[in-house]
Structures are given as C-alpha cells and as structure tokens.
Amino acid sequence: MTEEFSDIGLIGLAVMGQNLALNIADHDFRISVYNRTTSKMEAFVAENPDTPGGIVGAETLELFVQSIAAPRKIIILVQAGKPTDAVIEGLIPLLDEGDIVIDGGNALWTDTIRREKELRAQGLRFVGSGVSGGEEGARFGPSLMPGGAIEAWKEIEPIWHAVAAKVDAATGKQLEGATPGNPVEGGVSCAAYIGPNGAGHYVKMIHNGIEYGDMQMICEVYHLMHGLLGMEAGEIGQIFAKWNEGLLDSFLIEITADILQQTDSATGAPFVDIVLDAAGQKGTGKWTSINALDMGICAPTIAEAVFARCLSAIKEERVAASQLLAGPSAEFSGNKEEFIEVLHDALYCSKICSYAQGFQLMREAQKEYKWTLDFGQIAQIWRGGCIIRAAFLQKITEAYAHNSSLANLLLDPYFNEAVRKAQANWRQAVSAAVNHGIPTPTLSSSLAYYDGYRNARLPQNLLQGQRDYFGAHSYERTDSPRGEFFHLDWPHPERPQTAV
C-alpha cells in the first residue's frame, strides 16, 4: 500500500536536517528520517508527533530505505566531505536503479561532479542541491540550487518548489509570516534547476563567496562610522535600519541594524562591543577565491573578504603590532551627515562590483564545465530564503533579462548609471579610510576592480617587458594581431649593456 511509504527520506538530523525535515512535513509530504546517532532521531520524532505530512523515524539505514516510495528520494544533510561519502557508501547497496540521492550539504562542486558520475555508473541518480538560508531558511523556506540530471530534478521539483522560500512576483520581496504547520502560500518559489552535475553546488559556493564580500563591506562601513565618526553601535544600527528602506534593502543590512542595537545583558554594553574581533570561517569563501585564481578570473572583493577574516583571527599578534606600528590618527573634521551618505554610496558601489565578480566567475565556470547557467534566474532564486537576499537582486534579474550575454554587470545601463552617480562618494570614502588609517580591503579593492575594468590601457605593458627581460616569456605588440608573440634579445642581466 503506497500510502504507507514516505514521499522522501532525510539523513542527518543536526540543525539543517531537522529544520528541513519539518519544512517538508509542513507541506504535507511524509518524510522518513535517519541519523547516525539514533537517540537524536528518536528525540526529534518524539518532539514532532503532529506534522501535516508525518515524520517517520528509522533506526537503521535498511529500515529507512525500505520506508520510502520508489523511486526513492533521499536527502543527505550531514557534514560535507568524508561524512557525505561515508553515508553514500552505506546507502548504495541498499538502493534500486533510478533512486535519487540528494546532497543538500555545502559540498565542493568538484566532489559533486565526482559523486554524480560514480552514482550514474551504478544506475542511480545524484542531485547536488545548494541549500541557503541557515536554520531559519531550512525551516520556513530556503533558497534551493539543485544540480544534476534534469530527469532527477523533475522527480523532486514539486517538493523543492513547495518548501523553498517564496517571493512576491511583482516586488521580488520575500513573503514572510510562516509558522510551524502554516507555511506561506502563493508567490514565486526560490528554487530552480541550475544545471548538470556540480552546477548547483558551484552556484551555492558563489552565493557564499558573495555573502563573504557583503558581510565584510558592511563591517568596513561600521568601522568607519565607529572609528572615524565616533558613532556608538546603537546610532550606527539606526543608520543601517534607515538604509534598509532604500537601495541597500537586504537581509544582511536588516540583521546588521538589529545586531548593532542589541545590548549585552551581562554588562549593559552594546553587544558588538563585547564580541571578540576574531572571525571564523568554514571554507566556502576560500573555495570561491581559490577557484577565481584557478580560472584566472578577477574576484578581489571576495578574496579580500576572506583575507580580512584571516587577519582578524591573529588577534594577539595584532594587539602586539598595534604597540609598534605607526599610522595616521583617525580624527574626522568634515560633516558627519554628509559622510554617512558617502559611506552609503561606497557600500552600494562596492556591492555592485562584488556581485559583478561573482557572476563573472559563474560565466567562466559554465564554459569550463559546459553548463548553461541562467544568470537572471539565479539572481531570482537568491531574492528569498538565502543570506544575500536583497531588493538589489531584482535589478540583476532585469539586467540579464535585457541582455542574457551581458559580459559584466557593470556594463548594464542601470548599474553603469548607479556607479557613475555614486562613485565620487565611493572615492571619498576610500580616500578617507586610507588617510585615516582605517582598513577597508573590500571597499578599496572593489574600487580598484572598477578602475581596472574601465581602463583601456593598464600598466601590464611594462610587466610583459619585465617578463620578457628576465624569463624570455615574450610579449604581444600593440601594432600586431593578438596571439602573435615577440621576444627581444635582451642583454644578459649580469653584463649590463644598452638595450637594442
């Protein structure tokens, strides 16, 4: 009797797994759950006896697999890397041809490509689905980025659309208000098929890289407001709350406003003032930056955001260096209100550059892996559920709707005009930071990216000369076709002569 079988199964009942399982059950799907440590599964099932779809706990993998309707759909939400491989290995002998294994963890996309190939060879289907939005997203609507065989996507599509975040079709704003047992109805789902094999996890990684950039540039603006303008956390929080009503309207600006206005219950001090300035990271920003270097694509904003976390982490070394290394004083003499506007524009322009870099990475990756990515659609499914959700993404969707082969977001008329208008302020913010010794690696590197991209001639003519001089690496000439290389017979460096 088919009604005794579950519609889907889920392995891994930590934060993400529990919340996604509840979300799926809220949408009337019956779900089987399994966890390596059985007691966690038992507690979870006992705590959630009355979901609309029903949650069925299984003590063994065998019972778990047997409880799911064919073709089986099994989500894995365990720690990425070896644990995911271990779970897949345990599952394979228990599955039947055509069953679908879905990795919802933060897998490295090359692992997903490997796993998809291995499972396909055994008659199984594998989907690597990015899941963004953390605990809250998983519970009430994440942004979902599935990659794999299109036929596998067709099987899971109804569940993915049901559980994903929903946005208003006209405004692109996320529909809020879901509560346990009462998901939001209507709206456009933030789930879409991304492409074959590792495409979904690749796009999720870029999402995280962009998230790193967004977070760091917000922190730099906070640093300038606090360190240069002398503003206290609460007052800065109010500015962010105001900014959240305009162009910068986004989840990260919204939570920044909340965090800055939070007080520490133990001391009564602003919460951020008692938090140690040493950042952690889990690796997706690093993966994005390594991939940018591997593909030779310029993504300095994301890389600088990773480096900023690295520098923050060596707290004790910085404290010692602060006693020894000199710099300018951070004394501000201008108009505070005007400078806050300057910072707003610097943040907006840097954000545009950071997203431009993320989309350039995806453009290059699709060539490398023979994917056909729909950039407008990717921006669309990031409008709700995920950490980088923002009103701004609607403009990116529109930019790709106008021109699907746009080379760089900066070339879209809307973004071109936005940066044209705001760049004087952007430059002023970066100058002030430099002059007063406040580090702004993402604001500054975004500006350098913009200036580099808009310069028809860069000084790499000299660099090519240097490479040819010491390594005979050859150079192209401005008066010859691209791809034609020349070498000058330089004098031996140890026997200086006049160059010919």
**CA pair distance 414, 398, nearest whole angstrom:** 9
Residue keyed to tokens 């001639």: 457
CB of 270 to ligand NBP, least distance (A): 25
Q: Of these residues, 116, 155, 211, 220, which one is catalytic? A: 211
Residue 351 catalytic? no
Near ligand NBP by CB under 6 A, which window of 7-15, 449-457, 479-487, 490-498? 7-15
200 binds ligand NBP (CB under 6 A): no
Cβ of 475: how many Cβ atoms within 10 Å?
17
User: Which residue's CB is nearer to ligand NBP, number 134 or number 187?
Assistant: 134
459 contacts 453 by C-beta, under 8 angstroms: no
Coil vs helix vs strand at 275: coil
| Near ligand NBP in 302-331, by CB under 6 A | none
Query: Active-site residue 4, yes or no?
Result: no
x-marked contacts with ligand NBP along 412-451 as a string, rule CB under 6 A: ----------------------------------------
Nearer to ligand NBP, 147 or 237 (CB): 147
The CB-nearest residue to ligand NBP is 105
Element (H, E) at 74: strand 73-76
Please list, in sequence order, all residues whose beta carbon lies within 8 angstroms of the beta carbon of residue 251, skipping any fewer than 6 positions away.
386, 387, 388, 389, 390
* β-bridge mates for residue 131, sequence order: 144
Binder among 14, 247, 313, 448 for ligand NBP (CB under 6 A)? 14
Interactions with ligand NBP, residue window 50-79 (CB under 6 A): 77-79
Q: Is 155 helix (H, G, I), strand (E, B) or coil?
A: helix
Burial grade of 219 (CB within 10 A; 0-12, 13-18, 19 or more)? buried
# chain residues binding ligand NBP, by CB under 6 A: 22
Stretch that binds ligand NBP, among 10-18, 258-266, 374-382, 476-484 (CB under 6 A): 10-18
Residue 208: CB minimum distance to ligand NBP, A: 9
Structure tokens at 346: 């610097």
Give yes or no for a cis peptide into 71 (omega within 30° of 0): yes
Interface pick for ligand NBP out of 27, 36, 120, 318 (rule CB under 6 A): 36
| Binding span for ligand NBP by CB under 6 A among 13-21, 61-69, 192-200, 482-490 | 13-21
Complex with ligand NBP: residue 62 or 417, whichever CB lies closer: 62
State the Cα–Cα distance between residues 197 and 425, nearest whole angstrom.
Answer: 43
Q: Are 7 and 69 in contact (CB under 8 A)?
A: yes
CB nearer ligand NBP, residue 86 or residue 269: 86
Residue 9 bridge partners (DSSP)? 32, 74
The closest of 356, 328, 337, 490 to 425, measured between CA atoms, is 337
Which stretch in 83-91, 181-189, 425-433, 488-496 sits in contact with ligand NBP by CB under 6 A? 83-91
Q: Which of 35, 244, 250, 301 binds ligand NBP (CB under 6 A)?
A: 35
According to CB under 6 A, which one of 22, 33, 131, 165 is a site residue for ligand NBP? Answer: 131
Among 16, 152, 302, 378, binds ligand NBP (CB under 6 A): 16
Among 27, 42, 43, 83, interactor with ligand NBP by CB under 6 A: 83
Closer residue to ligand NBP in complex, CB, 79/182: 79
Among 60, 62, 66, 86, binds ligand NBP (CB under 6 A): 86
Torsions phi, psi for 188 (to 5 deg): -100, 130
The yes or no reply on residue 106 touching ligand NBP (CB under 6 A) is: yes
Which of residues 12 and 53 has its CB atom nearest to ligand NBP in the complex?
12
Q: Residue 87, interface with ligand NBP (CB under 6 A)?
A: yes
Asked if residue 80 binds ligand NBP (CB under 6 A), the reply is yes
Q: Which of 27, 40, 120, 318 binds ligand NBP (CB under 6 A)?
A: 40
Nearer to ligand NBP, 199 or 399 (CB): 199
Q: How far is the CB of 412 from ligand NBP (least distance, A)?
A: 30
Task: Give the separation between CA 61 and CA 146, rounded to whole angstroms.
Answer: 24
Nearer of residues 132 and 256 to ligand NBP, judged by Cβ: 132
Helix locations, 244-335, DSSP H:
251-260, 284-295, 300-313, 315-322
Given the structure tokens 């989840």, which residue do they identify?
251
User: Does position 283 bind ligand NBP by CB under 6 A?
Assistant: no
User: How far apart are the C-alpha atoms of 261 and 341, rounded to whole Å?
Assistant: 20
Q: Enumerate the β-bridge partners of residue 55.
A: 31
Q: How far is the CB of 80 from ligand NBP (least distance, A)?
A: 4
Nearest to 55 by CA among 100, 23, 88: 23
Judged by beta carbon, residue 67 or residue 444, the one nearer ligand NBP is 67
The length of the chain, given as a count of residues: 500
DSSP 8-state assignment for residue 179: B
**Residue owning tokens 């291995």:** 118
DSSP letter, residue 130: E
Choose the catalytic residue: 73, 116, 155, 204: 204
Instruction: Say how many Å lie between the first and final Cα of the chain, rounded.
Output: 88
**58 or 78, CB closer to ligand NBP?**
78
Cα distances from 61 to residues 71, 74, 81, 91, in angstroms, run: 16, 11, 20, 7
Residue the block writes with tokens 């900023």: 308
The residues that touch ligand NBP, with contacts defined as CB under 6 A, are 12-17, 35-37, 40, 77-80, 83, 86-87, 105-106, 131, 134-135
Q: Which residues are catalytic?
A: 204, 211
